[in-house]
Structure 1
Amino acid sequence: MNEPARRIVWTYAEYLEQERASPTKHEFLNGEIFAMAGGTPEHARLCANVIAEIRAQLRGRPCVVYSADLRVRVQATGLATYPDVSVVCGRLERDIEDKDAALNPIVLVEVLSESSEAYDRGQKFAHYRRIPSLREYVLVSQHEQRIEVFHRNEDDSWTLREARAGEGAHLEAVGCALSVDEIYRDPFSQVATAAEG
């Protein structure tokens, strides 16, 4: 009689050991390790624009904006992942098991892609909502000029606000506004248009 295949269950320490040796990033949840897909040039540009906009507005304030190289751990669920953009205000709280993982982001940003949009809106947001410090979750579309800001209210409910072309997406938690036009500005398309004309 054949035995059923066993699922491999990793410890968090084993995940960290593999992550340090790997050229690619992975998520960790419930003993499983999941490879994270690489992004497109459009995805990278939108991430860089969001970081630039937030960083410029936070200058001189006790908040720091981080790229997707910062690992965030959700202690309540065990998820370890790499948000596209994270903002931490005050002292960076590090996980006891993982000195490179932040526990206290106040704002998290994900740039949506076809492969990740359902996860970013659903399960990942459910994990992120369990982070006590988190006040805003921002989704940036790759397919249209639209930024969605989910804001945590005093009663722990969440309110969605959308911003489109010509508008600003307000991040109340850090006193910033993301100009939709600036986030989606593509200098190369303007050069190409001028050259064609």
Structure 2
Amino acid sequence: MAMGAAEQKYVSYEEYLELERDSLVKHEWLDGIVYAMGGGSTEHSRLALNMTAALKSALAGECVVFSSDAALYVRETKFSTYPNGSVVCGPRDLHRGEKGIGEALLNPVLIVEVLSDSTEKYDRGEKFSHYLRIPTLQEYVLVSQHEPCIEVYRRPKRGHWAHETARAGETLQLHGRTIAVDDIYRE
């Protein structure tokens, strides 16, 4: 189950988009059920910004990096959310509501989530299971708030997803570019 249920009645995707347009709070939509997303801490915000800035610098001219303001839609599971960061390489494939309002990315190659105490289990479990259904997704990045630690799950050409962890003083490869863990945690 997603974060906190705003309502348990069925809400069409178009109704959800109208709610999002007029709301000060972001929501997730899962096949007709709307869930309020909790606000993040200042540390969460700082790490998300540092991560997307590092990706933007590393991938300049090759890919487009999006912040948590860009919605994502998973067609197969009818799930819409706002990851802390996402990357699209090549043309953007967008999902729009029938009334022409709202748009959500369909084809990220990389997704970033900053872990918090209240979302870590969800980000590693149910949310990741939705993300796994995105055919273009190659890397899922989890950034710890409690220590300099970044985890990356990579989709191999065959077999199971590979997992890598990088800590303080180490680097990791994201979309073929080297990112220093210390740069993400620097104030």
Same fold flag (TM > 0.5): yes
Find the counterpart in structure 2 of residue 88 from structure 1: 88
The answer on whether the counterparts of 2:96 and 2:103 sit within 8 Å (CA) in structure 1 is: no
Give the deviation of 1:99 after TM superposition: 5.0
Larger radius of gyration between Structure 1 and Structure 2:
1
| 2:111 aligned partner, one-letter code | L
- In 1: Cα distance, 2:159 partner to 2:104 partner: 24
CA RMSD for the aligned pairs?
1.4
| 1:55 aligned partner, one-letter code | K
Determine helix, strand or coil for the equivalent of 1:95. Answer: strand
Of Structure 1 and Structure 2, which has the larger fraction of its residues in strand? 2
Q: Which has the higher contact order (CA 8 A, sep 6+)?
A: 2
| 1:155 aligned partner, one-letter code | R
The answer on whether the counterparts of 1:148 and 1:169 sit within 8 Å (CA) in structure 2 is: no
Q: 1:18 to 1:156 in 2, by over 3 A?
A: farther
Q: Deviations over 1:154-187 (max 9, x none)?
A: 125201000001101211xx2222211110112x
- TM-score in terms of structure 1 length: 0.87
Match of 1:162 among 161, 165, 175: 165
Percent identical across equivalent pairs?
A: 50
Q: 1:156 to 1:31 in 2, by over 3 A?
A: farther
| 2:61 aligned partner, one-letter code | G
Q: Which runs of 4+ in 1 moved over 6 A?
A: none
Aligned pairs, number: 178
The answer on whether the counterparts of 1:50 and 1:178 sit within 8 Å (CA) in structure 2 is: no
Give the deviation of 1:58 after TM superposition: 1.3
- TM-score in terms of structure 2 length: 0.91
Find the counterpart in structure 1 of residue 56 from structure 2: 55
| 1:26 aligned partner, one-letter code | H
Structure 1 gap segments, 5+ residues each: 1-5, 187-197
Give the deviation of 1:30 after TM superposition: 2.2
Structure 1 residues 91-100 or 143-152, which shifts more?
Answer: 91-100
Structure 2 gap segments, 5+ residues each: 1-6
